[in-house]
Amino acid sequence: MASFVPSSILPTDEPAVIPGDMHPPVDLPEDLSRFRDKLSTYLKEEDLERVCAAYQFSADAHFGQFRISGEPYVSHPLAVAETLAGWHLDTQALCAALLHDVVEDTAISKADIAERFGKVTAELVDSVSKLDRLEHQSYEEAQAENYRKMLLAMARDVRVILIKLADRLHNMRTLDAVRPDKRRRIARETLEIYAPIANRLGLNPLCRDLQEMAFRHMHPLRYQVLSKAVKAARGNRREVVGKILQAIEQRLPECGIEAQVQGREKHLYSIYRKMRDKHLSFSQVLDIYGFRIIVKDVPNCYLVLGALHGLYQPIPGKFKDYIAIPKANDYQSLHTTLIGPYGTPVEAQIRTTEMHHVAQAGVASHWLYKDTQSLPELQRKTHKWLKSLLDLQSASNETAEFLEHVKLDLYPSDVYVFTPRGKILSLPRGATPVDFAYAVHSDIGNRCVACQINFEPMPLRTELRNGDRVEIVTAAHASPNPAWLSYVRTGKARAQIRHFLKTRQNEESSALGERLLSRALAELGFSPGMVDDSAWERFLNDTGVRSRPEIYSDIGIGLRLASVVARRLMARDDTLQHAVHNVASVLIRGTEGVAVKLAPCCQPIPGDPIVGMIRKGQGLVVHTHDCQTLAKLVGSKAEWVDVEWEPGINRLFDAGIRVVAQNVRGVLAKLAAGIAEAESNIINVSMEEDDGATTAIYFTLNVSDRQHLARILRSLRRIPDVVRIARVRETTRN
């Protein structure tokens, strides 16, 4: 059987075993020496020897294997481990990095690694290893399932993703050996998944490197053109940049501030993204240079800000205080944009040495700078985000759905809003009060009915802005609205809404299916109590279904016919003649919602003669007996069900009416008054001109039943300006 490699394994990861004489891998004295030098700066001698043993184990395991680029395969795990050594990761992670492809590409097992290097290292190797593609039915499934495994392993141990990111970094650096179509696919994966994860973990230099390389491979021509343009601009603007740098270095000592000033050039992908998002030409992107000013403490950050604003005029709205309100990855800095010489925009970042450490190494600061004071807060935020991945996992039944939710949460959070108690929440740009509610707590989101933004009632679909104060109004019996899915922005909100709706659909479908099966059994002359456990067990074994509720749910949504299930449970075949014994109709309450739907084509209300129809995947749909859509479905593969309204229904239904009235002043007010007099509420109103003298007005009203609608029609007919009036359904109007 042929093996198949999942999408996240780069082709440069695939070893090429050279046939014939198997020569040992080429020694890598320079790389190995550099690696040992890095390790010796922070590892004890016994730990260093253990890592070297892992290297030798990996070299032996990959004996005779070469990368597509022609290098000995062991050069890849060595490069990955060297990146981790730059972050001062521990011995277990370094060993796992050196061994991360051994289980997948050689005959070595996880148990072999556990025996030689310990259980923790073996678990890390297993978490980083890719899944067997043969388990999945498609390329997309394998890709999504691989990401899912990686992200959930990361939630348990953040070292998993650090190894994976270092792995992706080296693969991107050696991507030129791969054919162009694969390069573009891999570059897209890097931009969509790996670079955002690096950014979310605060690994900003790594994130920028991945973005630059992905941009070069995904859009090679654009990269070349932009690179040439930046080089040309670099010469033209060198004098301006030098003048600004000199002015800043002169002003700060005058203000008694000790600082380190660094000039920096924006990365090509950052410039490209700005041009693309804001529809600018390169000549319009003036701020391709920026300055970073590093001081000893927070008070000096604000002193530098004052000095810069005194030196050059700040651009209004271009100041951001990430010190008072850190980003989600704990990035802290002051950002300001100034008007420099000759009108050139100048971007400046001001931060402390400690903030700079965190900005450069992010979550890896835990190993790299163990004396950094802000690490507990960084660890808390990272742990909270990783825990949210497990929450998304529990709320997402499908792998692709889980990946969609994670991608939503990987994009930077740009909007900062306040709870009524003054707590700051960070949300993605475009987030709504529904996102806010779920960010506070899942129960708040599920019971949300309204909101107040800055003490004013606002729609739930309102986009939040920086500084908004948001208060959520809840109700005990409220539930998520499916329409929320069209405007929520966070993965957590989307996952929780879908999870609630699926759970409710399963519960309602199961209840409906049980009622339909009882009815089918009654047609055969039996009751549900007469079906013994052995009959159920035999049926479940034959169908491969785990439980009765699943059978009920399948019946409720039309995947199984109740009559067929009833016959199989009672061991009856389709040719058996039977009598109908007091078969009861299915009662419709109008509150079922998901499993039982009132057809929008005819809008049935209590009092209308109705009929039910079960179609595959749709559940029970209730139509009026004279529905035009229903007539078209006669002869289709659907199960027809006798239904009737439950007596004493106490709820309101939507009903449409069409009123043709004289085109005179005040007629709409008279109609609204007549509707209110008949104790109804207007849900929607629209108008279209019939001719010059009359206007057709369409109302959607709340009614309790057919008699209530008749009272409304009588009330409106008494208005002298009304010419014609009738009930309409959606099909009638269309």
Catalytic residues: 104-105
R_g of the chain, CA atoms, integer Å: 34
As a dihedral over the C-alpha atoms of residue 676, residue 679, residue 681, residue 682, rounded to 10 degrees, the angle is: -50
Q: How far is it, in rounded angstroms, from Cα 73 to Cα 203? A: 27
The DSSP symbol for 482 reads G
Q: How far is CA 156 from CA 245, 385, 402, 732, in A?
A: 45, 12, 17, 58
Sequence-distant (6+) residues with CB within 8 A of 33 are none
List of E strands, 492-595: 586-588
> Rounded to the nearest 5°, which phi and psi values hold at 699?
-115, 140
Q: How far is it, in rounded angstroms, from Cα 544 to Cα 555? A: 15
CA 367 to chain centre: 30
CB atoms within 10 A of CB 616: 13
The string over 62-92, giving b where at least 16 C-beta atoms fall within 10 Å of a residue's C-beta and e elsewhere, is: bbbbbbbeebbbbbbbbbbbbbbbebbbebb
Q: How far is it, in rounded angstroms, from Cα 218 to Cα 558? A: 46
Contact 414, 429 (CB under 8 A): yes
* Amino acid sitting at position 310: G
Q: In a 3-state reduction of DSSP, which class is residue 290?
A: strand
Q: How far is it, in rounded angstroms, from Cα 320 to Cα 108? A: 52
* Amino acid sitting at position 37: D
> Rounded to the nearest 5°, which phi and psi values hold at 137?
-90, -15
Residue where the block lists tokens 């005959």: 107
Q: In a 3-state reduction of DSSP, which class is residue 382?
A: helix
Q: How far is it, in rounded angstroms, from Cα 624 to Cα 609? A: 6
Strand partners, 645: 588
